[in-house]
């Protein structure tokens, strides 16, 4: 086990790895480019309203076991609360509200019973979900052919009718995978469905952060590293990994400083790593050159402040609209502000639109979804486009994702995009950090 480990990147992956390594007895030095930690899962204060804003609303799931372990380890698990069972409400464009609430039966009966009891599905759609449950349980038999299929092809092969796909599976796919079912990998989606919906009622629960995302983990993780003799340094812009004779021996910063280290863990996003590696390593090592085949999938978040409450719902899936989820932030954070956030995932075709245009669409759609909001006046708004929110989990993506251990001695990788078997999620990021930490702790 190495004494000192240099980590690049202070997102969930880098911080989870840092805490695990520090707990394992390593002295951790973590370098983060930005003046803040958290990467793609962070929060900040809106200057106009003072409200706490996440760079995009995040949902947790009961199946995020590594994440829950991480939050326990740093003492912040109370910042995320879970419903006792899976409970999701859907609001249709005509204003109809329906619900999927799953009783605490053993899996998969919790989901199947929830669907059967729900007013969100027609009789035929309920039968389709039952068929899907059977197919998922027999999924091992489905085997490798699934690797070639998109979610849309797979769902239609399983006889899932159009209305159910549009109003349920597509919504789940876009929410969980951040990608259009027409290009999303069926095998990755199947894995997610099995873990999240068909494993256990506890794993299926949704969790909501009750504080700004950064407050859920960044300071506490940095403290856990510092308490064990490590350091977390902000505004440290790593420009190159120093590699010679097949071995990584440190990094070079933008100001020219070289930092020597025998063990380096890169926890930067996939579109950054190739720029830090020597060109010859990218060209000669397939695990690095394949990274260039990953593509981004954007998420757009629209934040709206009104002069009065517009809904009592805490969060709700939206159907028949461009925007897909509504989160009542004032209620979730317990601040009483009339502030909501709207999410548009897999937003390829919208990301080039102007913020004004996106805002108009969001407000118009909201008014048709919530006719009761009447003359509520919009007092403030914010639109955030995360163009590189996640990698696109398209067919074949698993073969592009590198493992934690690389052919360059002393260089390890973490990040939601590495080979975790999960889509780009909080859980994928934390797991990747743990995988890398484990590999480092067991190295000579």
Ligand X SMILES: Cc1cc2nc3c(=O)[nH]c(=O)nc-3n(C[C@H](O)[C@H](O)[C@H](O)COP(=O)(O)OP(=O)(O)OC[C@H]3O[C@@H](n4cnc5c(N)ncnc54)[C@H](O)[C@@H]3O)c2cc1C
Binding site for ligand X (CB under 6 A): 8-14, 31-34, 39-41, 55-56, 58-59, 237-238, 267-269, 272, 299, 301, 386, 389-390, 415-416, 424-429
Closer CB to ligand X, residue 55 or residue 120?
Answer: 55
Smallest distance from ligand X to CB 274, Å: 12
**Residue 431 beta carbon to ligand X: minimum distance, rounded to whole angstroms:** 10
Q: Minimum CB separation from ligand X for residue 427, in Å? A: 6
Which is nearer to ligand X, 135 or 221 (by Cβ)?
221
Cα 255 from chain centre:
32
* Smallest distance from ligand X to CB 159, Å: 30
CA distance 399 to 440: 23
- Of 261 and 268, the one with the shorter C-beta distance to ligand X is 268
Task: Kindly give, in sequence order, each residue whose CB lies less than 8 Å from that of residue 97, ignoring residues fewer than 6 positions away.
Answer: 89, 90, 91, 313, 316
| Minimum distance of ligand X from residue 90's CB (angstroms) | 17
H or E segment at 428? helix 426-441
Q: What three-state secondary structure class fits 360?
A: helix
Cβ closer to ligand X: 43 or 55? Answer: 55
Which CB atom, from 20 or from 59, has the smaller least distance to ligand X?
59
Q: Pick the closer one to ligand X by CB: 346 or 415.
A: 415
Distance in Å, CB of 55 to ligand X, minimum: 6
């Amino acid at each position: 086990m190495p004494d000192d480990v240099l980590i690049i990147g202070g997102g969930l992956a880098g911080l989870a790895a840092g805490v695990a390594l520090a707990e394992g007895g390593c002295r951790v030095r973590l370098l983060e480019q930005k003046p803040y930690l958290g990467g793609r899962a962070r929060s900040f204060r809106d200057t106009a309203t003072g409200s706490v804003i996440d760079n995009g609303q995040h949902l947790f799931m009961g199946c995020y076991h590594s994440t829950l372990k991480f939050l326990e380890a740093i003492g912040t698990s109370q910042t995320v609360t879970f419903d006792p069972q899976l409970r999701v409400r859907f609001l249709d464009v005509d204003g109809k509200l329906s619900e999927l609430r799953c009783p605490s039966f053993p899996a998969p009966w919790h989901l199947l019973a929830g669907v059967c009891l729900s007013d969100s599905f027609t009789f035929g759609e309920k039968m389709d979900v039952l068929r899907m449950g059977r197919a998922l349980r027999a999924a091992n038999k489905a085997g490798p052919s699934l690797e070639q299929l998109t979610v849309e092809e797979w769902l239609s092969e399983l006889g899932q009718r159009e209305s159910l796909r549009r109003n349920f599976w597509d919504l789940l796919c876009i929410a969980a995978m951040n990608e259009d079912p027409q290009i999303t990998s069926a095998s990755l989606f199947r894995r997610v469905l099995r873990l999240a919906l068909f494993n256990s009622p506890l794993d299926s629960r949704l969790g909501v952060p009750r504080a700004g995302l950064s407050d859920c983990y960044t300071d506490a993780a940095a403290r856990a590293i510092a308490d064990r003799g490590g350091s977390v340094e902000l505004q440290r812009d790593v420009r190159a990994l120093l590699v010679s004779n097949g071995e990584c021996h440190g990094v070079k910063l933008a100001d020219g400083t070289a930092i020597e280290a025998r063990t380096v863990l890169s926890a930067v996003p996939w579109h950054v790593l190739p720029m830090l590696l020597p060109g010859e390593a990218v060209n000669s090592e397939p695990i690095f050159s394949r990274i260039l085949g990953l593509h981004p999938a954007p998420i757009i978040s629209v934040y709206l402040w009104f002069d009065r409450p517009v809904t009592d719902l805490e969060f709700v899936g939206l159907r028949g609209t461009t925007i897909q989820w509504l989160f009542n932030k004032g209620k979730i954070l317990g601040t009483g502000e009339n502030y909501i956030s709207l999410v548009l995932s897999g937003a390829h075709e919208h990301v080039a639109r102007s913020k004004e245009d996106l805002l108009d669409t969001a407000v118009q759609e909201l008014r048709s979804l919530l006719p009761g909001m009447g003359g509520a006046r919009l007092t403030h708004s914010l639109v955030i486009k995360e163009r590189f929110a996640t990698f696109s989990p398209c067919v074949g993506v698993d073969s592009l994702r590198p493992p934690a251990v690389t052919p360059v001695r002393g260089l390890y990788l973490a990040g939601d995009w590495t080979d975790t078997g999960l889509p780009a999620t909080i859980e994928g990021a934390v797991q990747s950090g743990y995988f890398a930490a484990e590999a480092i702790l067991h190295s000579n």
